[in-house]
Chain A
Amino acid sequence: MSTVSDRVPLHLVVNGVAHSCEVEPRWLLSDVLRDTLGLTGTHVGCEHGACGACTVLVNGEPVRSCLMFAAQADEAAITTVEGLAPGADDPLTPLQESFRAAHGLQCGFCTPGILMSMTAFLRDHPAPTDADIREALSGHLCRCTGYTNIVRAVSDAHAAHRR
């Protein structure tokens, strides 16, 4: 009889790097990214899918990694915040740059999840209005900024991309 602690094999490509490990079926994707792979840039704020801080891209789509078992992501390609500008001297992406320029972050805890959601959002929405951006952001909680500068950052990144 199998138990919750019997491990299953898992193969992932995270930020372009292939990983093979064994995980308990109940382990959350967020825990495997943080604890097994040491990618602690993905933050956990609520573990019930409300705050959005743990959002990563799974095969290009934003997913709350606290609501997904790691085993469900077998064979998936995952992008985390560490994958946006991987090297210490790599240039920031236009979205990251505009977050800095617009003061779109304060404590920065919710920021990785927002960056991942907005990376996918800007890819899929070439000409968003501020209302579109606010709607897309409404799946994320930020207690510090009051959102205005995040909206501006996303809007500016979009404009920069068009230039």
Chain B
Amino acid sequence: MPPTVGKRVPRNEDRRLLTGRALFVDDVRLPGMLHVAFVRSDHAHGRLRSVDVAAARARPGVVAVYTAADLGGYWQHAPLLVPPPPVPGLVFHACTQVPLARDKVRYVGEPIAMVVAESRYVAEDALADVRVHIDPLEAVVDLERALEPAAPRLHEHLDSNVAATVHQQTGDYLAARAAADLVVTRRFWYDRGVSAAIENRAVVASWDPRAEHMTIWDTTQAPIPIRNGLARLLGLAESQVQVIAPFVGGGFGPKIMMFYPEELLVPWASRQLGRPVKWTEDRHENFVATTQERGQLHDAEMALARDGRILGVKDVFLHDTGAYDPYGLTIPINSQCTLLGVYKVPAYDSAFTAVFTNKPIVTPVRGAGRQHGVFVMERLLDIAARELGIDRVDIRRRNLIPPDAFPYDHGIIFQDFTSLTYDSGDYRPALDQAAELIGYERFVRDEQPRLRAEGRQVGIGIVNYVEGTGIGPYEGARVTVEPSGLVRVATGVGTQGQGHFTAFAQIVADALAVDVAAVRVVTGDTREFHWGTGTFASRGAVVAGTACRAAALTVRQKILDVAARRLGVEPERLELAHGRVRVRDHADDPGVPYGELAAHANPLRGAVTSGVEPGLEATAYFGPDRGSTANGVHAMIVEIDRDTLLARITRYVVVHDCGHLINPAIVEGQIQGGVAHGIGNAFYEQLVFDEQGQLKNGSLMDYLLPVATDVPDVEMVHRQTPAPGNPGGLKGVGEAGCIATGAAFAQAVEDALGGRLEIREIPLSPNRLFELLHDTASPGDPA
């Protein structure tokens, strides 16, 4: 049978989604189910003096109201999800969130009390009955002011608002700087946005006191760690807790965060009350109670030789971690590491300070800090090119890591705790191809001058990125051939739209010579598979996909062995096709269906040979030593309207390399969607907090997501430099689309405005462009 990997196979999951029959968490309905609403802090910073819930408890239909005092020993700080990496001299203060605020509130939206009622309407009615007394404190909003000695402290056991400091270096930056012909020094700002999955978060928990079993449906990207953690916190065995992440309506990072207060409280309440309990986040809550990302302030410089060669880069930056830091340092470490990009940087000196602020908690959002690094590096190169009189593409060409330099070790530590080593890559052809496809030379030489002469503001941007993907620790999969002939695959990662039900099915279908549609994939149900970590860091296809392949190959061998014994021939004489085994060169032999062999391998009587496992089933794990390095080039042409300063993207080209493709349609969907997300970050999306830490645009009417009229069709080229670290040559692609967009956009807009402005911040709304052009705000300031 021809392989399906590499083909545009339509998705197995689509029929259920298109007919309204796919189960999402908010669709779970159980007899006697109760509904939850949360009282949340209206103040960004304050002392919580009292919470009076008597009136709420008395309201008809209210079943229970809980405050921190009601939680007893269950009230504790959530566990630190990601410990800091082993960087020498690193300082990290873990200050994780609590289920319900007790003494202090630290961001608007922090949960204070939990109302459980017979319906969501009644639960929300009762929120108004709860009397909360908070003595407000000055809010810490601005990153630099947060570090002033007189700044109020969020966590008063610390002596400042510093959450962490990390310094990594390689080479001798001071020597590089001394030898440089040019040093470019700038300040860059990248602002915060929301992930904006269209499905808000939700949790349903059902405690069965007779079975002593807890079932939890959760919109999480990491059902297995959720199960393990909740079992421990609830004092249950892991086998007593089942966590199901069914269809999840978009993840984009914040759904990997754990443990959200609601995630801790809903199962606890179900156990207290002996009834199923549901909470579904509303959109207003999503803007404050779901984690966010992106606020960073970089003071960066680049030392260069006259010919444009980079001699060294220095970067000192502040990272906004919000009110708590449960996700450790993944984001700023990603920024620090991804900044180096596709370039040889002989000397690198990078130090960051993570800062607590009275804003929602920061954890990875698609890209997870990589955007910031790419933005800083690519902007420095643009500025250096201009000052040295070198073409923008040429200065990049002169600094690329050459194809014979892999594996390429940058000499610093990456988020997965291993050295930042690129496994593979071929950067020059990708850059050349992107420049060729968008017509860079022709545009700069002919088209732009012609259009400018007509009074039109058109510009081009072209930037590189790398993405460390497919990191460990491991994932696993179990492949089973059932007596019906159906092939079942179970893996621990959750799925939020990435097409795992199809991509994993393709991998298994090819190994077993069955149709893709005959492979039923289950993801995200701890009863089906309970070893693994989750879907994050563009790793599902690489790590879980490789585990699926290994398990399927073992099952293939079992099929051959059972058939060989059954048919009395050597396994080498057998071939597999369309779910059947037959003896090679016997074209008229219909062969034995796998289902029959599966039944044969699991007899009711007789004996299974000693040392042989029953059935046609295998479990396998894959843990890469290090991730695989994807890369790409984004290029775009924009036109800026003279009157409105609205930017219209007229062309967008992505040349990318994520190794071998499992399903090009799915990969292209990830890129197109990622670019749309990136366009949002670059031009539309910005969370605006006032000086009191109040979010001023917390609705989808005020916070603008790109719509169909804003996003161009991305023209794509797939390059396929195989990853050496896994047998399929796979690299991840989930975040690639949005990593480079801001940098490309800034370059293109700057070019379109013909040097009237140097762009050092993202996002750039039309309003912000107007302010910058008319010098009504200093560049680099948060808007």
Binding site for B on A (CB under 8 A): 24, 26-27, 34-35, 38-48, 50-51, 53, 80-82, 84-85, 88, 92, 96, 99-101, 103, 105-112, 115, 133-135, 137-151
Contacts and interface: CB of A to CB of B under 8 A. Distances in A.
Given A50-B701, A53-B198, A96-B18, A103 B708 contact: no
Contacts of A40: 20, 23-24, 26-27, 29
Given A40-B27, A48-B699, A48-B701, A107 B199 contact: yes
B121 A100 contact: no
A144 B669 contact: yes
Nearest to A97: B18
Interface string B705-720: 1011101011000000
Given A44-B26, A134-B708, A24 B121 contact: yes
B17 A108 contact: yes
B673 interface: yes
A157 B402 CA distance: 47
Interface string B18-56: 111111101101000000000000000000000000000
Given A40-B20, A51-B198, A143-B252, A150 B708 contact: yes
B27 to A, nearest CB: 4
A32 B33 CA distance: 16
Nearest to A142: B198
Contacts of B181: none
13 contacts: A44-B26, A48-B700, A100-B15, A106-B499, A108-B13, A109-B24, A142-B198, A143-B197, A143-B705, A144-B250, A146-B672, A147-B711, A150-B708
Nearest to B366: A143
A106 B19 contact: no
Given A27-B121, A50-B283, A50-B701, 8 more contacts: A38-B29, A81-B19, A92-B19, A109-B247, A135-B708, A141-B196, A143-B705, A144-B250
Interface of B: 8, 10-11, 13-15, 17-24, 26-27, 29, 121, 195-200, 247-252, 282-283, 496-499, 665-666, 668-669, 672-677, 699-701, 705, 707-709, 711, 713-714, 737
A135 B709 contact: yes
B651 to A, nearest CB: 13
A148 B676 CA distance: 10
A39 B517 CA distance: 27
Nearest to B61: A5
A73 to B, nearest CB: 18
B283 A108 contact: no
Contacts of B496: 107
B497 A144 contact: yes
Contacts of B499: 106
A140 B711 CA distance: 13
Contacts of A42: 20
Contacts of B709: 134-135, 138
A92 B669 contact: no
A146 B714 CA distance: 9
A107 B249 CA distance: 5
Nearest to B676: A146
Most central of B251, B498, B676 by chain A CB within 10 Å: B676
Contacts of A110: 198, 249
A82 B15 CA distance: 12
Given A106-B669, A140-B708, A82 B19 contact: yes
A26 B121 contact: yes
Residue with the greatest number of chain B CB neighbours at <10 A, chosen from A42, A80, A82, A106: A106
A34 to B, nearest CB: 8
Contacts of A112: 20
A82 B714 CA distance: 32
Contacts of B23: 40
A82 B20 CA distance: 5
A96 B11 CA distance: 13
B497 A106 contact: yes
B18 A111 contact: yes
A96 B15 CA distance: 8
Query: Which one of A46, A137, A141 has the highest number of Cβ atoms from chain B below 10 Å of its Cβ?
Result: A46
A45 B200 contact: yes
Give the 5 A-B CB pairs with smallest separation, nearest first. A41-B20, A109-B249, A107-B497, A108-B17, A146-B676
Contact of A81 (B20, B121, B252): B20
Contact of A146 (B121, B197, B252, B673): B673
Nearest to B664: A103
A51 B700 contact: yes
B673 A144 contact: yes
A142 to B, nearest CB: 7
B126 to A, nearest CB: 13
A139 B11 CA distance: 26
Nearest to B665: A103
B20 A148 contact: no
Contact of A107 (B10, B196, B247, B666): B247
**Most central of A46, A48, A144 by chain B CB within 10 Å:** A144
A80 to B, nearest CB: 7
Nearest to B200: A45
Contacts of B18: 81, 84-85, 92, 96, 99-100, 105, 108, 111, 115
A141 B700 contact: yes
Contacts of B699: 46, 48, 50
Given A108-B247, A143-B705, A35 B15 contact: no
A19 to B, nearest CB: 17
Nearest to B119: A35
B316 to A, nearest CB: 33
A145 B198 contact: no
B199 A100 contact: no
Nearest to B196: A143
Given A48-B701, A111-B17, A135-B709, A145 B24 contact: no
Nearest to A106: B497
A149 B283 CA distance: 26
Given A48-B283, A146-B676, A147-B676, A43 B708 contact: no
B426 to A, nearest CB: 26
A85 B19 contact: yes
B497 A103 contact: no
B711 to A, nearest CB: 5
B283 A47 contact: yes
A46 B283 contact: yes
Contacts of B711: 146-148
Contact of B672 (A26, A50, A149): A149
Nearest to B125: A4
A47 B282 contact: yes
B248 A107 contact: yes
Contact of A103 (B11, B200, B250): B11
A29 to B, nearest CB: 14
A146 B521 CA distance: 26
Nearest to B673: A146
A149 B669 contact: yes
A88 to B, nearest CB: 8
A38, A82, A107, A151 pick with most chain B CB within 10 angstroms: A107
A101 B26 CA distance: 28
Nearest to B677: A143
Nearest to A49: B701
A99 B121 CA distance: 35
A142 B707 CA distance: 8
Contacts of B200: 45
A85 to B, nearest CB: 5
A96 B19 CA distance: 8
Contacts of A41: 19-21
A106 to B, nearest CB: 4
A99 B18 CA distance: 8
Contacts of B700: 46, 48, 50-51, 141
Nearest to B663: A103
Contacts of A44: 26
B294 to A, nearest CB: 16
A81 B121 CA distance: 25
Nearest to A80: B20
A99 B665 CA distance: 13
